[in-house]
Structure 1
Amino acid sequence: MKFDTAYSVSLDDKLSIYDVRELNFDETAAYDSDKDRFLCPNDACRAAFETGNVLGTYNAKNVNYQRTPHFKNTPSTEHIEGCRYASSHKPAAGESDDAREDNFPSEFVLTRRTYARITPVVDAEGQAPQAPAQTLSGRSPAAVSASDSTPDKTSVFAHPVECYVSNIDHKDKLKAMPLKIGEHSATYWAFFKKIEYLQDNHGLIYWGKIKAIKDYTSSFRIDFEKKVWLDKKPYSVNVYLSKKLIENYRKRKAFLEQIKAAASSERPLYCFFYGVTPALKQVPSKKNPEQTFGVFSANIENLDHLIIREVPMLE
């Protein structure tokens, strides 16, 4: 049984697995998921057991991954009768337990989430604090409540990207799932735009297969395989990551590990980014600086909104 939300004992809050990954790689955060304890996100279920009734994590600390990150039950994890997170729970219509990400956030929030680092008070019986209105009952009705729902907003770019990538062969599903970014609302299918069609609309999530990553030691350029056609002429597309942007990034170590590995990798990789739209620019030729050539290019402004990863279903 996999699910993407759990209660964090150290933060006294419910986190998505993508929140946990963010905190693990954040060099400004004193956090290590291996030292945290994750409990059932169902308030009634969590209240029925001591804090030793923990969940496990999958791909919470791997910089690169192919299979969807998630929380999971351990062999000793217990749940109350009827809890949707129990391994014996039969998925309802629309739920699945395969490798796909089924928890689609309806909004990608551009402001990064902050976490109040509060060590929760544990009562005399070793139980974690619960929402005050919950009834501590082992009966099935208590297992279904408003507090049992998955958060419908996320500030972690990897979450909507994983939803799109792991369901990329389910076009109808992506067309049915709503997504809001800023003031713009559309479907997942409409928001994710292949890089060669970037002229169709601005303010989307652009993505494409990487042709090459140019490593300039302290800065990088990502070249895309597909070209943009304008006035019957093909133009290359790239995005540039500046030295200052990388040096000031709070996840600098993890990012450098990822992009340096990607630059030398022979595996097919894809880049997803949001916040900038490559525009046609004239750049000087290396062989003859007096001559220029056109290229669609953009400077990435926020590394939180850029991802390099594999897309297994496209290969």
Structure 2
Amino acid sequence: MKFDTAYSLSLDDKLSIYDVRDLNFDETADFDSDKDSFLCPNDACRAVFDADNVLSTFNAKNVNYLRTPHFKNKPGTRHIDGCRYASSQKTATGENDDEREDNFPSEFVLTRRQYERKTPVVGIDESVPQEPTKAPSNRFTTSHNDGDTTPDKTSVFAHPVECYVSNIDDKDKLKAMPLKIGEHTATYWAFFKKIEYLQDNKGLIYWGKIKEIKDYTSSFRIDFEKKVWLDKKPYSVNVYLSKKLIENYRKRSAFLEQIKAAASSERPLYCFFYGVTPQLKQVPSKKNPEQTFGVFSANIENLDHLIIREAPGME
């Protein structure tokens, strides 16, 4: 059985698997999921067992992934009767339960969630905090729901993107699930807009198949395969990632690893981004600088709101 949320013993808080991934790659955070202990998110269930009754993670550290990240029970993980996180015999050992994301956040929060470590983790080889016999806290924060429900908000862009990508074959579900970003509320289906239709609405999550990634060593440009039609003319679309933006990014190493691999990859890749809408610009021609040509382009302003990934079944 897979689930999206678990209780982090070191942070004394409930984290989604996407929070864990975000922290693992964050060079400003003192966090390593391999050195943490993750327990059942059900408060009543967690209070019954010792801190060694842990869960495992799936795709918590892979920079690129195809199968949905999640927490899951280990063979020896125990739960109280009636806990919805208990594995059935059919799903405990199966590998067909991680094909899609079922925990749809109803809001994508633009302000990044702040995490505060409550219990220091010891030593590089230790996997539990200094007081392993101490009962886990039942403390809550306003960013998460009480009880054993999963969070209905997320500040990690990968979460709504995974919901959309892994459920792309179920349009009815995507059209039924609500999503709020800022003051705008729509369905997942309406919020994700193909790049060639970017003129339809502003403030959406735009996505498209990548034609090429231009590697300028310290900056990058992502060119999309599809063009935008305006006044019966096709225009190319791209987004630019500046040197300053990348150098100041808190997940710089992981991002550079990912985009450099993507630039040389022959596999079909897609780019999703939020926060900017490419606008028609006139740029000078390389062959003749005195001449210009039109292109829809935007400078990405926040790398937390951009994802490059494989997305089978998108087109």
What CA distance in whole angstroms lies between the structure 2 residues aligned with 1:284 and 1:4?
48
Assess if the C-alpha contact under 8 Å between 1:220 and 1:241 holds in 2. Answer: yes
Aligned to 2:273: 273
SS of the residue corresponding to residue 199 of structure 2 reads helix
- State the shift of 1:313 in Å: 2.2
C-alpha RMSD over aligned residues: 1.9
What CA distance in whole angstroms lies between the structure 1 residues aligned with 2:211 and 2:131?
56
Aligned to 1:220: 220
Deviations 1:157-202 (A, max 9, x none): 0000000000011000000000000000000000000000000000
- The yes-or-no answer on 1:118 pairing with 2:118 is yes
Aligned to 1:128: 136
What CA distance in whole angstroms lies between the structure 1 residues aligned with 2:47 and 2:6?
14
Assess if the C-alpha contact under 8 Å between 1:122 and 1:128 holds in 2. Answer: no
Give 2:286's aligned amino acid.
Answer: K
Aligned to 1:142: none
- The 5 A counterparts of 1:158-237 are 158-237=158-237
Give 1:281's aligned amino acid.
Answer: K
What CA distance in whole angstroms lies between the structure 2 residues aligned with 1:89 and 1:16?
24
- State the shift of 1:99 in Å: 1.2
Aligned to 1:56: 56
Moved over 4 A (4+): 120-125
What CA distance in whole angstroms lies between the structure 1 residues aligned with 2:130 and 2:221?
50
Aligned to 1:302: 302
Deviations 1:227-252 (A, max 9, x none): 00000000000000000000000000
Assess if the C-alpha contact under 8 Å between 2:165 and 2:314 holds in 1. Answer: no
Closer/same/farther in 2, CA of residues 303 and 223 from structure 1, 3 Å limit: same
What CA distance in whole angstroms lies between the structure 2 residues aligned with 1:21 and 1:283?
38
SS of the residue corresponding to residue 67 of structure 2 reads coil
- The 5 A counterparts of 1:139-158 are 146-158=146-158
- State the shift of 1:97 in Å: 3.4
- The 5 A counterparts of 1:70-89 are 70-88=70-88
Aligned to 2:36: 36
SS of the residue corresponding to residue 214 of structure 1 reads strand
Unpaired runs of 5+ residues, structure 1, are 133-144
Give 1:233's aligned amino acid.
Answer: K
What CA distance in whole angstroms lies between the structure 2 residues aligned with 1:125 and 1:251?
34
Assess if the C-alpha contact under 8 Å between 1:83 and 1:89 holds in 2. Answer: no
SS of the residue corresponding to residue 56 of structure 1 reads strand
What CA distance in whole angstroms lies between the structure 1 residues aligned with 2:293 and 2:132?
72
Closer/same/farther in 2, CA of residues 206 and 161 from structure 1, 3 Å limit: same
Assess if the C-alpha contact under 8 Å between 1:239 and 1:298 holds in 2. Answer: yes
Aligned to 2:264: 264
Closer/same/farther in 2, CA of residues 125 and 292 from structure 1, 3 Å limit: closer
Aligned pair count? 299
Unpaired runs of 5+ residues, structure 2, are 121-128
Aligned to 1:135: none
Deviations 1:244-281 (A, max 9, x none): 00000000000000000000000000000000000000
Aligned to 1:136: none
- State the shift of 1:129 in Å: 2.1
Give 1:28's aligned amino acid.
Answer: T
Aligned to 1:139: none
Assess if the C-alpha contact under 8 Å between 1:122 and 1:129 holds in 2. Answer: no
Assess if the C-alpha contact under 8 Å between 1:210 and 1:222 holds in 2. Answer: yes
What CA distance in whole angstroms lies between the structure 1 residues aligned with 2:304 and 2:203?
16
